[in-house]
Amino acid sequence: MNRYLVLFDGECALCSGTVQQLLAWDRERRLRFAPIQGETARGIFERQGMKGDALGGIWLVERWGEAGERLCSQSDAILGIFGVLGGWWPILTLFRWLPRRWRDELYGFVARNRYRWFGKVKKCGIGDGEGRILP
């Protein structure tokens, strides 16, 4: 079974709220979550040869911890998450037909303004999400 890990900004109120909602929507419990500021994300970025301090936003790690581990970022990550969720959520992956540049521009606009619109949190306050939130 494919393992999915969502890396999110643990200092972002919008991101933390979105993770709480995803925990509720993911009835099959296919997603795990980790803040970008944590050791789990740091290990993944090191394994992929990426500098963690320069990375932000949302990431979807497909085949997490397995051979062929793959990272998706920005709008590809969001659409990938919708594809993993059950119910009617996968229909939103139809937005992949839009050019990635357009999707990422919209994502970037929200990402640049997220602290101003929704605020920051000092520490990720989600809890452990029944063992689904990793350090």
**How is the chain split into domains, by residue range?**
4-131
Low-confidence ranges of the chain (pLDDT < 70): 1-2, 52-55, 123-130
DSSP letters of 75-95? HHHHHHHHHHS-TTGGGGGGG
3-state secondary structure labels for all residues of 27-55: CCCCEEEEECCCHHHHHHHHHCCCCHHHC
Share of the chain above pLDDT 70, in %: 90
Report pLDDT digits (tens) over 72-84: 999 999 999 999 9
Report pLDDT digits (tens) over 97-121: 999 999 999 999 999 999 999 998 8
